Structure 1
Amino acid sequence: MTMTQKYGKDKSEDNYRRAVALIKEKLPSMRILNALLMINLGKEEDILVDARQTPPVLLLETTEEPDCRFQTKPEYLIQFSQGKLEPRYALFKDAFFHEAIPPKVLPVASLPTPTEDLDRVRADIAEFGYGLVKDALAPEQIATLKKAVLEQAAGEVAAGVAAKDGGPNAPNQRIWTLINKGQEFIDLLQHPLIDEIVPDFLGEHALIHSYSANIARPGNVPMQLHTDQVAIQPPVREIAFGLNIMWFLEDVTAENGGTRVYPGSHLGHVAPDDIFDLKDSVAAQGPAGTALVFESRLWHATGPNIQQTGERPVILMFFMRSFIRQQENNFLSLREDVERDLPDKVKAMLGFCTTGALGGVEGDVREGQMVKRLKNPVGALRKTTNV
């Protein structure tokens, strides 16, 4: 596999050379690490930095075990050096552990399959990191939601606001902030499966971290492997902070971009050796109407759509524990006309309800208060006093 095949145009040799040059340029500042560091930028060869001596140097090889290993993409280092990227994201989120264990390869016959038994789904999530709910959506719901997603996608393309990804040609499309984009999506947030599954894993008052659709189209480049605990740095593997529900609006297969997962990779200090290589991963497959439920520590990626025609639309509801800041800032992005008519249950998911002394307005953090933007918040009130 060539670099272009593996990474696409934006992972060119030029970016690699620039990233290596940056590492060499910053060598003197690495003395603070006082460690033997192994860096991988997606190629077979590693870059060895010996920061135990002054000044630090690059090594061609070593027989010693490095004190630290990490992988990242060349452009992340470049963006970091330009001040465009927070350092923890330059480490490609949580693909960074001391002595990480590669995911195990499990027999396909033992893996989850769609079932209506929610106890089985819960057990599958606990054991494998994901489960599949059979017939979570009725045929009429599938048709309504699929139509809404595809029409919204076309509308955003026509308006010049489409979010495209999936490689240099960007065939995939994401539709963000679904809460603003149709009553169908608001209705889906009241699906009974949410109450049946989410509190079991995240406790009461879980918040919608993000609410989006993802359309995988032919010719896409697979997403890099990742987990969904992006903001938890350094990585915490002992507890799951989030749970994703992916609603299949089309039959999802390994051929049309089914999400690739490493079953069981949610447990322990697990990380793939190469976050750009989907080897030994499996596609989470199921017929239209299936709900894929997976927790935030599971290693996964949008898969390649290798079909000649056709697309794979899904809806993603990502919930996080109530004390985790949401990816989508609903207080700013929510349309006023949508907010006005939302049921309290949905508002609570978006963060409009006080819980655990969090989320109050003007100091009122009494439990269970539904908050709203104040028209006239108390401002500066100064009165001269005799001192």
Structure 2
Amino acid sequence: MKLDLSLDEFNAIMAERGWVVFPRAVDPALVARMAEDLEAAWDICRAMQEKNGVASDADHTVHHLIGLKPSFLEYIDASEALNPYYEAYFGGRYILNSFGGAINTQGRTSYAQRIHRDIRSYSGDMPLLLNTLVMLDDFTADNGATYMLSGSHKAAEKPSDEDFYAHAERATGPAGSVLVFNSNVWHAGGNNTTDRARRSVTPMYCRPFIKQQFDYPRVLGYDAGASLTAHTRQVIGYNARVPASLDEWYQPPERRMYRGDQG
């Protein structure tokens, strides 16, 4: 990844506007693999949605991609270049909260296209959650680039539809760009009016003491952490697990399931 934004610039933009786009931050070959894997992941997720009767309003949305296809874990490795920005936002360590995605196609809608924020409780100046979105195709106004209401992370109240669409900006960029935003920012997916899919994956991060939406260490295997890079082991959540026995609790610092540097 080649990133030209200084940390001071990043902090200033996030404080004022609440979101920033890193253009062409991901290697094109990895982008292509994730796009292909996303299509396969959709088939897996859709089968489970239909099996359990939760297929409505979730068209072409996928969830918890870690462990489904290898490129998504590879992205966590590759995103280490963004680590200084994410640690600056949180003021320290963070872990993966969820890793979903979407395939936005003409004539299809899902919950992601409603005006929303992805943190259920407004956190004000305390950064608890960070949204990111990796553009696997070019994001344009025509194919449904995300609407972002700049500065809306400073207020708890949801804006009216009229106010939102009157002032929201579009997060556009070429494939491989990464949108990063404060999870208090109100946003909405746009409508795709083209004949080509607009695909993305959406890793979200949180402070280590917040529960992950999915037990990613359990998915990969609790012993698999030793084979991962230090960065990926941290982000996946191996350093912020909950002990399930006294034997797991009574361990020296270097072997504890929740490490002392996690906040």
TM-score range, shorter chain: 0.7 to 0.9
Q: Do residues 310 (structure 1) and 196 (structure 2) align?
A: yes
Decide which of 85, 94, 104 is 1:197's aligned counterpart.
Answer: 85
Per-residue deviation at 1:350? 2.9
Superposed displacement of residue 265, structure 1: 0.7
TM-score for the superposition, normalised by structure 2: 0.79
Letter in 1 for 2:118: D
1:130 Cα deviation after fit? 0.2
Displacement after TM superposition at 1:286 (Å): 0.6
1:322 is displaced (CA, Å) by 1.6
**Whose helix fraction is larger, Structure 1's or Structure 2's?**
2
Counting only pairs closer than 5 Å after superposition, residues 352-367 of structure 1 correspond to structure 2 as 352-354=238-240, 359-361=242-244, 362=246, 363-364=249-250, 367=253
1:148 is the counterpart of 2:37? yes
Distance 1:242 1:155, change over 3 A: closer
Tell me: higher relative CO, structure 1 or 2? Use CA pairs within 8 A at least 6 residues apart: 2
Report the Cα distance in structure 2 between the residues aligned to 1:214 and 1:257, rounded to whole angstroms: 11
Runs of 4+ in 1 over 6 A off after TM superposition: none
The one of 101, 118, 130 equivalent to 1:228 is 118
Q: What count of residue pairs does the alignment treat as equivalent?
A: 244
Give 1:180's match in structure 2, choosing from 67, 77, 97: 67
| Runs (5+) with no aligned partner, structure 2 | 259-263
Q: CA deviation at 1:285?
A: 0.6
Using the aligned pairs only, state the percent identity.
21
Indicate conservation of the 8 Å contact 1:353/1:371, yes or no: yes
TM-score scaled to structure 1, two decimals? 0.56
Q: CA shift at 1:251, angstroms?
A: 0.2
CA deviation profile, 1:25-60 (whole Å, cap 9, x unmatched): xxxxxxxxxxxxxxxxxxxxxxxxxxxxxxxxxxxx
Spell out the pairing of 1:343-382 with structure 2 (5 A cutoff).
Answer: 343=228, 344-354=230-240, 359-361=242-244, 362=246, 363-364=249-250, 367=253, 369=255, 371=257
Shift of 1:246: 0.9
SS of 2:255's partner is: coil
Give the conservation status (yes or no) of the 8 Å contact 1:353–1:369. Answer: no
Q: Does structure 2 retain, via aligned residues, the 8 Å contact 1:162–1:173?
A: no
Q: Following the alignment from structure 1 to structure 2, what is the Cα–Cα distance between the partners of residues 335 and 194?
A: 23
Q: Distance in 2 between matches of 1:338 and 1:360?
A: 14
Report the AA paired with residue 154 of structure 2: L
Query: What is the root-mean-square deviation of aligned Cα atoms in Å?
Result: 3.1
Task: Tell me if the contact between 2:135 and 2:200 (Cα under 8 Å) persists in the aligned partners.
Answer: yes
Task: For 2:239, give the aligned amino acid.
Answer: C
Residue type of the partner of 2:232? Answer: V
The answer to whether the 8 Å contact 1:244/1:319 transfers is yes
Pick from 282, 286, 289 the counterpart of residue 173 of structure 2: 286
Consecutive unaligned residues of structure 1, counting only runs of 5 or more, are: 1-114, 373-387
